[in-house]
Structure 1
Amino acid sequence: MVAIHCHHWAMAWDEVVDHGGGATHPEYVTADARVDNRTNLLIAEYTAIRAVEAQKSSASHALVGAYLTVVAVILGFVVANRADPRLLITVPILSAVCGITILRRRRDREVAHRYVREILRPIAVQCSGDDRIFLWEEFYARHKDARSVRYEFGLQLVFPLSAAVALTATLPRLTSFGDWLAWLAGLGFLLMLLLTYGHQNREHLGRTVGAVRDICRHVVRWRRGRKPGSGLASDQ
């Protein structure tokens, strides 16, 4: 009986291990290789996405620096070298091009974050069996303080504000039809930038408007409570 049982165990083991003595069954080898390939592809795709995000962020900061440098050069020509102030009409065009480019790169980064969170992370959790991986985007969004939000919000305001100042400064200098045409073109670029800016930041702008509305309501209630004849005044 012992010999028969040993024979059956040997046959069962031969189905898993080949006769070479160390290699696993081809089906298990194929499954393990498939899992390894999925893991490698997942890591490679995540690394590529993070590299593209870093590249776009660096390019955006470099573009802001270049824009401020060009605007400073134009102001130097107008103020120090007594150049034609109508040269400032070029500022709205530059601001629209640079501002929309930065807004587009920011949208690309947000799309990449959603792709990692909604597509790559479920696959990674399925492959590893651990739901604590690929949590950087969610962690950063949850712990990002208001200072960084205000910094990004203010950085984007550089472009429309500088364009508006340039258009306001050149308005009294317009004399010919060509001047007005160029000024209206600059105004069109500014409006296009503002529309793009408002569309992409509508969520943040909505929260800001809501906060301002709440503050105004508190101020109105406080003012009403301070009026003579109110309950607060009578108690005092």
Structure 2
Amino acid sequence: MKQTAEQTTVKPVATKYVYDALKEKILSFEIYPGSRVTESELADLFMVSRTPVREALLRLENEGFLTIRPKQGCFIKPINIEELGEYYGVRTALEVAAVEGACHYMPESELQHLLHLWSPDQALVEHSADQMEDKDESFHIALALGSGNSTLVRYLQDVNDHIRIIRRVDFQDEERIKRTYAEHHAIIEAILGREVDKARNLMKRHIQRSQDFAKTLTLTQLAKKKAGVSRFEQVKAL
């Protein structure tokens, strides 16, 4: 039986809806890290068939947000603060290497473009946490690309995949967003001046502040969620 154009459109739309909604619940800890959910629960929750739920879960698994275990269900990735600290240590080393390379090789025109994007005035524009996360990650990848080291870029992208859930909470505070703009702007100015030591030190402090803030906020949010309703009640209430 041939599918109509309307039927072929509904499936990807439903999958995207489930993917977006479920990802938001994971990132906001409304579904507690380490929790188990099933396709049938989620299908009932989002009032869709199990097919778009299954496809959304596969996509989220590929992105590292959960693990699918046959005949057991889906398990939201637990947050290991100690492990995240190790990833941040690797990230710091990579980011420092990136700014060193950028000081030597990144064209002035590209740096001037970044300087405009990260002008402190831009911090006054309203941003969602997702938008800030994307823009922040793009900034750091741009510097890595500017270093001319493609291997460094790949490793940095891999580290970002592992810490994305904690980086997102870094941008739920207006003052933190303003500070990020100011710190990025200062880093770019140092690179433009080809001041390697200054750029390196600014980047180290920037990553450390980001890690400290995100860790504190993550632990606070986790404690609040744990003290609240059960995992099943959380899912039902979404």
Q: Give the TM interval when normalised to the shorter protein.
A: under 0.3
Bigger relative contact order, structure 1 or 2, given CA contacts below 8 A and separation 6+?
A: 2
Whichever of the two has the greater Rg, that structure is 1
TM-score (norm: length of structure 1): 0.23
TM-score (norm: length of structure 2): 0.23
Higher strand fraction (1 or 2): 2
